[in-house]
Amino acid sequence: MAKKIQAIRGMNDLLPDASPRWQYLEEKVRTLLDRYGYSEIRMPVLEQTALFKRSIGEVTDIVEKEMYTFEDRNGDSLTLRPEGTAGCVRAAEEHGLLFNQQQRLWYQGPMFRHERPQKGRYRQFHQIGVETFGLTGPDIDAELILLSARLWKELGILDHLTLELNTLGSSEARAQYRTALTTFLEQHRQDLDEDSQRRLTTNPLRILDSKDARTQEILEAAPRFEEHLDEESRQHFAGLCQLLDAAGIQYTLNPRLVRGLDYYGKTVFEWTTRALGSQGTVCAGGRYDGLVDQLGGRATPAVGFAMGIERLVLLLETLEAFPAELDQRLDAYLTAFGEEAQGYALLLAERLRSEQPELRIQTHCGGGNFKKQIKKADQSGARLALLLGEDEMSRGVASIKFLREDKEQIEVPVSELALTIKEHLQSH
């Protein structure tokens, strides 16, 4: 036998047992976004490498270490998208959706980062992202947070999530602070963790985010961004906090929250949980007013966020927050005995589907004796087995066997079958 080829490490198959949980979550998000008036946009998973270098930033972890970049047959450098914002901005600009307009957009799909695979961290993972354009005020920042809070509430996980909030100010304020922070940290260079030492010259703000205990200790005495925050950003942030307070949204101010991508300014936020261990951020975003201009468009205010589907599914599983009915995939399993009845069963199933379109019916295929077919019906998870033999066929009836209750089998005329099934399902 030939050697089997396996999936790429960190890239998962979603198996049929698990897909209902993904569908449940995706459907919840989709309908919620629809209720808030957001429109879906779909972008390619491949973009020119330059797009990510220019947006995410040359000296970020993503661009330095994590991108799947290759030359295609024409020698062009292409990259599998590591996140959705850059592609969304590219698409919106390319199709004239930005200038003098307001947009509320969302997308979903796979993202690719060459990270060390572990629980909650994969090389192909999935995000649902939300991006808004053309809106300057803190009201839209608040809307995005309210929308996400409502989603957690509807999923039954709000109590397990904490909202962390920070402002990164204007690019001038950040530049000033970068200098102050670097000057301070230079004096402690040898005590910083290795990553932070490297970042001192490349991306010092990211040091605030270091998980190293010693580095965090040193940071206690570091200059605070507060002292450099520009007035406009201060007011924007105060406005946001006020709106969240009025809406009863709880949050924690986290001055160390900086995010891993260069394009953020002013508001940044993350929803985190303790229930998943160290991969606890399930949703993260912020304002990126400079990005459209940086990518060659006319300056356009923008704010958005992305949530990680794998982590949300894990969280919902951990908290047992998925509804039990998700495992119930079929209402009825139609068995048929004898060659003629088997052919007729397919037609009968079609009739039932026409009469009661919401019924979920599977027809047994491949023949076999009574015992085998009933076993299949049971394994299918269906509530009911429908039995059809040549005798039933000639009399225009079918039998209903109740697979999940202690109840006598009944015989029903075919003309009343669909309604009888539906009524039975509704009464339980």
**What is the edge-to-edge ordering of all strands in the sheet holding 77-80?**
46-48, 77-80, 68-71
Q: How far is the CB of 372 from ligand ATP (least distance, A)?
A: 43
d(CA 126, CA 81) in angstroms, rounded, equals 11
Examine residue 199 and tell whether it contacts ligand ATP (CB under 6 A).
Answer: no
Q: Which is nearer to ligand ATP, 64 or 115 (CB)?
A: 115
The residue whose two tokens read 């894990």 is 314
83 lies in the binding site for ligand ATP (CB under 6 A): yes
Chain position whose Cβ is nearest to ligand ATP: 308
> Rule CB under 6 A: is residue 328 a binding residue for ligand ATP?
no
3-class secondary structure, 116: coil
User: If binding is defined by CB under 6 A, does position 281 make contact with ligand ATP?
Assistant: yes
Amino acid sitting at position 269: F
Tell me the number of residues near ligand ATP by CB under 6 A.
Answer: 18
d(CA 398, CA 281): 53
Residue type, 46: L
CB of 129 to ligand ATP, least distance (A): 8
Residues 6 or more apart whose Cβ sits within 8 Å of residue 204? 178, 181, 182, 185
Task: Taking the CA atoms of 198, 213, 237 and 273 in sequence, report the sign of the dihedral they define.
Answer: positive
Stretch that binds ligand ATP, among 25-33, 112-120, 332-340, 411-419 (CB under 6 A): 112-120
CB of 172 to ligand ATP, least distance (A): 24
Are 66 and 80 contacting, i.e. CB atoms less than 8 angstroms apart? no
41 three-class SS: coil
Nearer to ligand ATP by C-beta: 22 or 184? Answer: 22
**Pair 92, 302: CB distance under 8 Å:** no
- Choice between 131 and 310, CB closer to ligand ATP: 310
Enumerate helices (H) and strands (E) in the chain, giving the number of each: 15, 16
* Residue indicated by tokens 């976004």: 33
Letters for 124-163 (x = contact with ligand ATP by CB under 6 A, - = none) are -x-x------------------------------------
Restricted to residues 242-261, the positions that interact with ligand ATP (CB under 6 A) are 260
Give the shortest CB-128-to-ligand ATP separation in angstroms: 9
Pick one of 310, 315, 331, 386: the residue that binds ligand ATP (CB under 6 A).
310
Minimum distance of ligand ATP from residue 332's CB (angstroms)? 38
57 binding ligand ATP? (CB under 6 A): no
Say how far apart CA 425 and CA 359 lie, in whole Å. 9
Q: Which is nearer to ligand ATP, 281 or 294 (CB)?
A: 281
The single residue among 57, 87, 301, 308 that binds ligand ATP, judged by CB under 6 A, is 308
Instruction: Please tell me whether residue 362 binds ligand ATP under the rule CB under 6 A.
Output: no
How do 302-308 and 124-133 pair as beta strands? Answer: antiparallel
Give residue 407's Cα distance to chain centre. 43
Binding of residue 93 to ligand ATP (CB under 6 A): no
Most distant CA pair in the chain: distance in Å?
93
Where does this chain bind ligand ATP (CB under 6 A)? 83, 113, 115, 120-122, 125, 127, 260, 279, 281-284, 306, 308, 310-311
